[in-house]
Amino acid sequence: MKAAAFYDVDGTLISTNVVHIYGWYALNVPTLTGRLQRGARLAAALPFYAVADRVGRKFFNDIFYRNYRGIGEDRLYVLGEELFDKVIKGKVFQDMLELMKRSRAEGYAQVLVTGALDTIVAPLARYLEVDHWFANRLEIIDGEATGQLVPPVLAGPQKAETLRRFALEHGYDLNACRAYADSASDIPMLSAVGRPVAVNPDTTLKATATAHDWPIMWAK
């Protein structure tokens, strides 16, 4: 039976999140003034972002990714590769690497479905040797990011819809598919498959997983 294993990325496969990632970009813009301005704006806005995330992950994404406005497309990709080599590669959960190895050996296609940016996910996907991946993309105009995401924005129900559409197009049986995620915002994605697993779950996802008797995994 054809089946796939779908993975969220931040908090599920790696111990970083979108705020950490942008912090790297902010600290590596070309000018000192730019670095100071971006770093100060990020620090000042952190409480607001925490509230925005509770409102909804799509709302958070729409607000948060405005920080990337003005960063050059080339720099996004160059720093993405550098960030992977220097930071993200060392933040991959070894337990999840082993799990993916076993899953691949069992015949499951390996698929990433994440709200992270494609410039970050591309080197990670190569490293993990996944079969397919889906990530958010920044709108680029005249060689620079506008701060807007290209629809559809992968968050909440849209991640679940992407998963279902992919499974239908490739003939995967959703009841036999697996999904792994850490956040309550990914409950729709986990609910879309027959074998959901909560990985390092937040409080809400842990309660949902317990209520539905979903396996809970604490990855390191």
pLDDT at 32: 65
Contact 163, 179 (CB under 8 A): yes
Q: What is the pTM of this model?
A: 0.90
Cα–Cα dist 160/157, whole Å: 5
Q: Tell the residue number behind the tokens 């849209």, with chain if given.
A: 158
Cα–Cα dist 139/144, whole Å: 8
Q: Which CATH number fits domain 4-217: 3.30.420.590, 3.30.930.20, 3.40.50.1000, 3.30.43.10?
A: 3.40.50.1000
> Any bridge partners for residue 198, and if so which?
181, 216
pLDDT per residue as tens digits for the range 148-205 = 999 999 998 999 999 999 999 999 999 999 999 999 999 999 999 999 999 999 999 9
pLDDT per residue as tens digits for the range 84-141 = 999 999 999 999 999 999 999 999 999 999 999 999 999 999 999 999 999 999 999 9
Nearest to 22 by CA among 59, 60, 66: 66
Cα–Cα dist 99/111, whole Å: 13
